[in-house]
Amino acid sequence: MESKIKKGPAKLHVRSGDTVKVIAGNAKGETGRIKTIIVDKLRATVEGVNMITKHVKPNAQNPQGSIEKLEGTIHISNLMVVDSKTGEATRTGRKADDKGKLQRFSKKTGKFL
Give residue-wise pLDDT tens across range 56-113: 999 999 999 999 999 999 999 999 999 888 889 999 999 998 888 888 899 988 888 8
Classified as helix, coil or strand, 77 is helix
pLDDT of 37 reads: 93
Q: What integer pLDDT is reported at residue 4 of this predicted model?
A: 65
Residue 29: CB partners within 8 Å, gap ≥ 6?
21, 22
What are phi and psi for residue 82, nearest 5 degrees?
-95, 125
Give the model confidence (pLDDT) of 15-24 as tens digits. Answer: 999 999 999 9
Closest CA to 21 of 90, 111, 94: 90
Query: 85-93 long-range contacts, Cβ below 8 Å, gap at least 24?
Result: 85/109, 85/111, 89/20, 89/21, 89/23, 91/13, 92/13
CA angle (33 as vertex; 70, 87 as ends), nearest 5? 140
* pLDDT value, residue 7: 62
The domain made up of 19-106 is a member of CATH 2.30.30.30? yes
Partners of 55 in the beta sheet? 67
Global model pTM greater than 0.85: no
Q: What is the pLDDT of residue 78?
A: 94
